[in-house]
Amino acid sequence: MHKVWTIIEREYLTRVKSKAFILSTLLMPVLLGALVLIPILSATHVGEQKLTVYVLDQTEGIGEELKSGDGITFLPALYDEQIQKDSLKPGEALLIIPKIFENLSGRNTAPLAANEKLSLGLKRSLTDRLKEGTRRFRMKRLGISREDFELLNVGAEIDETTVGAEEQLSAEVASMVGYVMSMLIYFMLVFYGMFVMRGVIEEKANRIVEVMASSVKPFQLMMGKVIGIGAAGLTQFIAWILLFLGISTAVSLIFGGGGASVSGADMAQARDQVEMIQQALQAFNLKMILLFLFYFLGGYLLYGSLFAAVGSAVDQETDAQQFTWPVVMPLIIPMLVLANIIQNPNGPLSVFMSHFPLFSSNVMMIRYTATDVPAWELAVSMLLLIGGFLGATWVAARVYRVGILMYGKKPSFAELFKWIFRS
């Protein structure tokens, strides 16, 4: 056991002391924080865009109902259509309201000519104001007062609560949290799994492994390498979580307290984003973090062992592609059906994949955030993941003990199967 700990210590310290490890540990939360901060800053500091819209009204009064605001100023057209188009300057547009807008049904289209292409924000605001002006015109024609219209214009939302359960996240936030955690686990399993494979190939190519194999058993060597690199990954993971939570909390405090002086739709959008961040942060309680770490570690130990076996079977990384795809494919498959899992977390596919060891590391975190997973299902999933890790370790050890000392020959899948079942 002492020899295994020595290998673990060597693998761990070699990586955590490297400049690449330190830089990636510090920069990743900054990049993730930027992904949170930039949309909020763009919404709160976008600046008001101005547009003067000349209205050529072919109806009996819709143009008079258009209200200026949000940088848009409505003015009656000064000339006929063609002359007005020819006289447009940057920041000006001509809106034509056809006679058909007086109809009380159907989808109507109003032509708009501008000197330059309008931004999506301006176009959306202009469309909203045209709809509101048309609505006011039709209300007057039908003799409906504003008060009566407000009585008919009923808004309805659903405020979901679960009887006998703790306070739940909204479906949107829960899906976002589960999706982010699943993607993190996926990338980290692939990243550190490839780290293990490259490390084995490098030591095998440099003949370092021959010296090490003379003093430790191949299984001890494999497990020391897998656990040591996994411990480095876990250290980086915890650092990322703490740094990202700190950055996100700071963003929420800065933008959630009403400090920004922007008003209108952009500020409402920014506040919605801040509120979503705050709800997402509430999801990271101790139970969530522990569950997250368990599925990351379980998945890493399972796939790390398989990647180590692949590395031991070849002499260079280009030869490993043939054996890498069967290992990577079970990681990719859950990513292809994430949308279905989020939409129906209790469906047969979701339940099966959250229990099957090769898929559960990614899928269970989504199910756990999106729905109430019974305790017995969590227990079964964890036990199966542990069993899957033990099984993968046994298979990897059988390949590793033969492949680690073989040179100059690229084995086939048939030979790998022979190594596994060789007594």
Q: How confident is the model at residue 255 (pLDDT cuts 50, 70, 90)?
A: low
When pLDDT is cut at 50, 70 and 90, the band that residue 164 belongs to is very low
3-state secondary structure of 277: helix
Whether residue 265 is predicted with pLDDT greater than 60 in this model: the reply is no
Taking residues 89-110, report their average pLDDT. Answer: 81
Q: What are the phi and psi torsion angles at 173 (to 5°)?
A: -65, -40
In this predicted model, which residue has the larger pLDDT, 329 or 8? 329
The answer to whether residues 370 and 350 touch, using CB atoms and an 8 Å cutoff, is no
Report which listed range, 9-18, 138-147, 272-281, 379-388, is most confident: 379-388
Which class is 51-150 in CATH?
A: alpha beta
Overall average pLDDT of the 266-271 stretch: 53
Evaluate whether 117 touches 90 at the Cβ level (below 8 Å): no
Whether the pTM exceeds 0.75: the reply is no
pLDDT band at 152 (very low <50, low <70, confident <90, very high): low
**Which residue's structure tokens are 């447009």?**
88
**Residue 24 clears pLDDT 90, i.e. is over it:** no
When mean pLDDT is compared across 21-30, 150-159, 283-292, 360-369, the lowest value belongs to 150-159
45 has a pLDDT exceeding 60: no
Check residue 166 and give its pLDDT: 47
Residues contacting 316, CB < 8 A, separation 6+: 201, 205
Q: What is the pLDDT of residue 377?
A: 92
C-alpha to C-alpha distance for 363 and 344, rounded to whole angstroms: 12
Q: Is the Cβ–Cβ distance between 225 and 308 less than 8 Å?
A: yes
Per-residue model confidence (pLDDT) at position 261: 42
Q: What is the pLDDT of residue 356?
A: 93
pLDDT of residue 260: 43
DSSP 97: E
Residue 109, burial from CB neighbour count under 10 angstroms (0-12, 13-18, 19+): exposed
Answer whether residue 297 shows pLDDT above 80: yes
User: DSSP string of 30-84?
Assistant: HHHHHHHHHHHHHHHSS----EEEEEEE-SSSTGGG---BTTEEEEE-SS-HHHH
pLDDT digits (tens, 9 = 90+) for 176-219: 777 778 888 888 888 888 888 887 787 777 766 666 666 777 77
Domains in the chain: boundaries: 2-42+169-421, 51-150
DSSP state of 169: P
- What is the per-residue pLDDT across 372-421, written as a single tens digit (0 to 9) for each? 888 899 999 999 999 998 888 888 888 887 777 777 677 777 888 888 87
Mean pLDDT lowest for which of 97-111, 274-288, 405-419?
A: 274-288
Question: What is the C-alpha separation between 20 and 351, in angstroms, rounded?
Answer: 39
Task: Convert the pLDDT of each residue in 334-359 to its tens digit.
Answer: 888 888 888 888 889 989 999 999 99
Task: Measure the CA–CA gap between 19 and 106, rounded to whole angstroms.
Answer: 64
Q: Which of 53-62, 149-158, 311-320, 387-396 has the lowest average pLDDT?
A: 149-158
Q: What is the mean predicted confidence (pLDDT) over 106-134?
A: 82
pLDDT, averaged across the chain:
77
CA distances to 31, 70, 262, 266 from 44, in Å: 20, 14, 6, 6
Distances (CA, A) of 18 to 15, 96, 186, 226, 244: 5, 65, 23, 18, 22
Tell me the C-alpha distance between 312 and 403, whole Å.
Answer: 5
Residues 64, 310: Cα–Cα separation, whole Å: 74
Which has the higher per-residue pLDDT, 215 or 46? 215
What is the rounded distance in angstroms from the CA atom of residue 113 to the CA atom of residue 97? 12
Which DSSP letter does residue 105 get?
S
DSSP letter string over 279-297?
A: HHHHH--HHHHHHHHHHHH
Contact in structure between 92 and 54 (CB atoms under 8 Å): yes
